[in-house]
Structure 1
Amino acid sequence: MNILQVNSSARVFENDQGSHSTRLANELVAGLRAAQPGATLTVRDLARQPHPALDEAGLAALFTPAEARTAEQAARVALDDALIAEIQAADLVVLGVPMYNFGVTSQLKNWIDAIARARVTFQYTEKGPVGLLTGKTVYAVLSRGGVHRDQPSDSQVPYLRAVLGFLGMTDVRFVYAEGLGMGPEAEARGLAAARAEIAQWLAPADEAALA
């Protein structure tokens, strides 16, 4: 089993300090690896390794045939190719997803723009679009300063379901850490609730490992 962890916070998590989403994603991954001792892990930390935004130069590189690309264009496409190879090889994907201004971070959006490539990770057919990244389970660990679950203010969950499903990843499981900016007591409750959800998601994995 191959696990891909993508940390999309702008903050580096180090010495148990920093991003809540990364901390909880780390805990979930530790549980998954405990249940699958032979699992491999690839970590893509977008705070430590920022991925470039899809701008005009990036689009030009992608739309230029490989044999006609300049060295600069080839290097730009290669950055996206590396992320695509990681997601293609993954069986389990764990996303650390903080909420910034009611949406996903620019770091995560850049990652999504990089892995969404026509005829590689999705294709259009006479019957409509078909996602090519199938057979994967995705865990999205959501961290929010306020409380947005099942509210109109939660644009993250519909967006992630739509874009990941478009690419073929339809088994998406969410962990909610909310109220983290509403004082120490609310933060503690939010983290405890998220850890309880992680334990629930891991329970089937634990049972499978013991079978």
Structure 2
Amino acid sequence: MIIDDVMTDKITLHGLGFVQVQLQGNQRLHVWHPELPRRACFEHSAIHNHRFDFESRVLVGTQINILFADFPAASACFVKETHELYLHEGARTARGGRPWMPNGRVDMRELYSHAVSAGSTYCMKAYDFHRTEPDGDGKVATILKKGWEGTRGAQSSCVIGVEPDTDFDRFQWSPARLWEVVSDVLLGQKVTP
């Protein structure tokens, strides 16, 4: 069940290693920086989907977008279970995330990846799996514009046998510290308040 408790904090940390800034018009600024904390299980749980279509315009740096196909056991393409799916539905926790509810196992396979440089845009359809990685120095900024929104929750995947980090704290860094990261990436230098 989707509970529409949209993140109301203007700026927060995301478990996938970026700062998220809520903007008007169904937009979000996402800023990656190599010093940002990520979920403890990040390397095994970065493949995810969204419950909405979106287009993402890269403002700074180069973003690598990697698309995946998830094959359930009933699929003719299924070979073996590789990932556990987790559904993110329900009220947000005190740490800002949504619950991780086991939602089946699949054979997750990489389809292709592409580099998206500053000034270019990439698009994703709701419920298609992908992961993103900042290229180069690890500093990337994008503007994400949400489109059509589905009624089922989004999902993350985690390699079978790895416990997902369900306790990641989106509020572990202060807003002032997060704005420093945004300034560093967008302006190319740290700004002292």
User: Quick check: which has more Rg, 1 or 2?
Assistant: 1
TM over 0.5: no
**Larger relative contact order (Cα-Cα within 8 Å, sequence gap ≥ 6):** 2
Q: TM-score, normalised by structure 2?
A: 0.24
Higher helix share: 1
